Amino acid sequence: MTLESLTYASATELSSGLRTAEISAVELTQACIDVIAKQNPAVNAVITLCQESALTEAKAADLRLREGSAGPLTGIPLLHKDIFCTRNVATTCASKMLANFIPPYDATVVSRLRAAGTVMLGKTNMDEFAMGSSTETSVFGVTRNPWDLNCVPGGSSGGAAAAVAAGFTPLGTGTDTGGSIRQPASLCGITGLKPTYGRVSRLGIIAFASSLDQAGPMTRTVEDAALMLQAMSGVDAGDSTSADLEVPDFSGGLNQPISGLRIGIPKEYFSQNLDQRVADKIHQALDELVKEGAELVDIDLPHTEQGIATYYIIAPAEASTNLSRYDGVRFGHRCESPLSLTDLYERSRSEGFGEEVQRRILVGTYALSAGFYDAYFKKAQQVRRLISEDFQKAFEHCDVIAGPAAPGPAFPLGAKSDDPLAMYLEDVYTLSVNLAGLPGLSIPAGLVDGMPVGLQLIGRSFDEATLLRVGHRFQLCTDHHHAKPVLGGASQ
Amino acid sequence: MTKPSSAKHSKNTGKSASFSFVLKWECINVGVFGQGESVVASPLSFHSGYAAMPTIPTDVLSVAQLARLRIDEAALGDVTDRFTRTLNLVAQLEEIDTAGVIPMSNPHDMHQRLRADSVTEGNQREALQQTAPAVEDGFFLVPKVID
């Protein structure tokens, strides 16, 4: 296998190559490290590279492969978003606040993927504390979109999306609070799955908004997403919100046909906010699914637009509470020579947090304050229920919902960074899914002027299996997921 | 949680409020599931009505004080502008009829499981304090609080 064929292969293909000893885990890991060393300076997707430990882990994987005790992910390289706590490896959340934080423990997602035999290559860039849709608010600088280095990769899991798209790794982890897996997956042309709230443990994921946060796989194919989700899922005694439900065999159900499946099309997802070129690609994708026997059904999600307002109360409110732990005392940034305890708190937080994080803390603090709690936070929680009920009603008429993952393709760096409200619109099609706690999948649906566009599929609670089945069927009959960037695209 | 006796909501028409009140201000810790718990209190004066948005810099500073953030004077205008625009964005929720709707704090309306009340972790003080900014003899160091 050539270097490129190695680093652009899917995990499923690589797993087969490892088992037949066509390649070794050490060779594969070294190939990924070489590509990262060569291309990362331009893309800035990886902010911590664990070269030495990765090769050690790869050697151990090779041993298990030889012994015949390997699982499907043994020896497969992986990059974790820098929001997952990794024992003895820096975990910064792309913030000055945590620039020197080295966790004494692994997140459950990290330990489960480690137990499954994956090889951790390092950590990926992100928007600071996952608050953003462009990976421009990182203290480590912007990540660039491999399809066009002048464009953003989306966010907040932009480093993971860019890394998978650029051939740095077949697998990445991401987190999604309002679209942070699906929107960058769409903008970088990869597969990204946000599981149902509670499917994957949140233990050791640096908290943003606890009732919305969920971790998921970012991969080249739906087949790989199923493999990875299998390893990540399941109840965890360390997260009392993790669902105590049996985890289905996600890979086992992939090949079932989709004939007769009803796909709901919400008209609100095709409003004037949507780039017409993206709309055309989504309609072409739906045509493919109809050819496979699916039936399209018109549905209504009437509170789609109000989802933004709802989200931008609930998420900042929960964030302001979660981020109150950063006080400069037990861990994280501390200001120089504090004069008093209040001075220590205020200067440590103001120096440690970036602008967008502070903006959301302010809004959240305001929304939770006694005189305004009912008008903002309680009201938003009530609308959240209406949004959830919209989905429940829609699912009486369909099995999955389909639409775009983002209103347009990747935009130029800096284009929206001065206008937070324009940036918030990036997540108009994704954040309602978090409010309702549902699973959502973004898969490549083609290119618009050379830039990728994602088809979003939304499922019933804990029905990731149907999403994966539809997504896999789509990838069997199209080749959009095989498209790869000439690194730098038009800009080089 | 103390509610202001004269608080009343009206649609954000941009008109100035017709009355004002003194509000006992509290910051509410939402916890994991948004179950309110008062943690901080300091009295503030606010103009009321739903349009009680902090459009003047002193109000943003008051919110910043609650959040233990310090805003540079040079950035105050910009911070206030963006803060106000975000509040204008979220004000559209007032238009939605939510009478009788039960607030949703968890997408599955689930209750948190309780674990057994038993020790599962040993003492890891040294490991946990390795990332602390300042420690001495196993204690976290902070500036002198009481003279």
ipTM (interface pTM): 0.92
- Calculate how close chain B gets to A209, using CA atoms only, in Å: 9
How many domains is chain B built from? 1
Q: Is A243 on the interface with B (CB under 8 A)?
A: yes
The answer to the question of residue B1 being in a domain is: no
Q: Which pLDDT score, from 0 to 100, does residue A187 have?
A: 98
Q: How far is A330 from chain B (nearest CA, A)?
A: 5
| Band of pLDDT at residue B16, cut at 50, 70 and 90 | very low
Instruction: Name which of A114, A183, A108, A175 is nearest A153 in CA terms.
Output: A183
User: In degrees rounded to 5, what are phi and psi of residue A109?
Assistant: -60, -40
How far is A155 from A153, CA to CA, in rounded Å? 7
User: Residue B2, SS3?
Assistant: coil
Provide the b/e sequence for A343-360 (b: ≥16 CB within 10 Å). Answer: ebbbbbbbebbbebbbbb
Strand partners, A200: A233
Q: Taking 70 as the threshold, does the pLDDT of residue B47 lie above it?
A: no
Cβ contacts of A382 on chain B, cutoff 8 Å: 98, 101-104
Q: What is the rounded CA–CA span in Å between residue A435 and residue A392?
A: 13
The total of structural domains in chain A comes to: 1
- pLDDT for residue B144: 83
Q: Starting from the edge strand earliest in sequence, which strands make up the sheet with A451-458, in order?
A: A46-49, A119-124, A77-81, A171-175, A215-219, A191-194, A440-448, A451-458, A400-404, A262-266, A295-299
- B98 vs A contacts (CB less than 8 Å): 379, 382-383, 386
pLDDT tens across the length of chain A (492 residues): 666 688 899 999 999 999 999 999 999 999 999 999 999 999 999 999 999 999 999 999 999 999 999 999 999 999 999 999 999 999 999 999 999 999 999 999 999 999 999 999 999 999 999 999 999 999 999 999 999 999 999 999 999 999 999 999 999 999 999 999 999 999 999 999 999 999 999 999 999 999 999 999 999 999 999 999 999 999 999 999 999 999 999 999 999 999 999 999 999 999 888 999 999 999 999 999 999 999 999 999 999 999 999 999 999 999 999 999 999 999 999 999 999 999 999 999 999 999 999 999 999 999 999 889 999 999 999 999 999 999 999 999 999 999 999 999 999 999 998 888 889 999 999 999 999 999 999 999 999 999 999 999 999 999 999 999 999 999 999 999 999 999 855 433
Please choose, from the candidates A314, A321, A317, A325, the residue with its C-alpha nearest in 3D space to the C-alpha of residue A352: A325
Chain A contact set for B29 (CB, 8 A)? 321, 324, 368
Instruction: Mark yes or no for CB contact B93/A366 under 8 Å.
Output: no
- Token pair 């960058």 is found at A184
Which listed residue (A81, A123, A194, A416) is catalytic? A81
Q: Is A302 on the interface with B (CB under 8 A)?
A: no
A392 touches chain B (CB under 8 A): no
Q: Residue A343: its chain B contacts at CB < 8 A? A: 143
Selected residue of B1, B30, B38 to mutate for chain A interface (largest A Cβ count, 10 A): B30
* Interface mutation target, options B9, B12, B38, B142, chain A, most CBs of A under 10 Å: B142
Q: Is residue B90 part of a domain?
A: yes
Residue A216, domain member (yes or no): yes
A383 touches chain B (CB under 8 A): yes
pLDDT on residue A488? 54
Find out whether B84 and B63 touch, Cβ atoms under 8 Å.
no
Residue A373 lies in a domain: no
Residue identified by tokens 């050490």 is A26
Number of A–B residue contacts, CB under 8 Å? 221
- Selecting among A10, A133, A134, A156, the annotated active-site residue is A156
Catalytic residue among A180, A320, A432, A461: A180
Distance CA A490, CA A477 (A): 28
Assigned token pair, B71: 């805003």
d(CA A313, CA A344): 28
Residues in chain A with CB shorter than 8 Å from the CB of B86 are: 312, 359, 363, 420-421
Q: Which helix (H) or strand (E) segment is A444 a member of? A: strand A440-448
Question: For B102, which residue in chain A has the nearest alpha carbon?
Answer: A382
Q: What Rg value do the Cα atoms of chain B yield, rounded?
A: 21
* Residue B123 is assigned to a structural domain of this protein: no
- Domain encompassing residue A70: 3-255
Question: Rounded to a whole number, what is the distance in Å from the CA of B15 to chain A's nearest CA?
Answer: 17
- Asked if residues A289 and A473 have their Cβ atoms less than 8 Å apart, the reply is yes
Structure tokens at B107: 């997408």
Active-site residue flag, A156: yes
C-alpha distances (whole Å) from A359 to each of A156, A169, B10, B30, B70 are 16, 34, 25, 18, 12
Q: Could A240 and B112 be called an inter-chain contact, meaning their C-beta atoms sit closer than 8 Å? A: yes
- Optimal mutation site among B24, B27, B144, interface A, most CBs of chain A within 10 A: B27
Asked whether A54 and A168 are in contact (CB, 8 A), the reply is no
The answer to the question of residue A296 being in a domain is: no
pLDDT computed for residue B40 by the predictor: 33
Would you call A15 a catalytic residue per the annotation? Answer: no
Candidates B69, B76, B97: best to mutate against A (most CBs of A within 10 A) is B69
A81 is catalytic: yes
User: Which A positions 168-227 lie with beta carbon below 8 A of chain B?
Assistant: 197-198, 210-211
Nearest CB neighbour to B130, from listed A104, A377, A379: A104
Q: Is residue A149 part of a domain?
A: yes
Angle between helices A51-67 and A25-43 (to 10 degrees): 150
Interchain pair B108, A338: CB under 8 A: no
Copy the structure tokens of residue A385. Answer: 């229920």
Tell me what pLDDT residue B147 has: 66
d(CA B11, CA A25): 62
d(CA B79, CA A398): 44
Residue in chain A closest to B86 (alpha carbons) equals A421
Q: Say which CATH number the domain at A94 has.
A: 3.90.1300.10
What residue numbers bound the domain in which B56 lies? 20-95
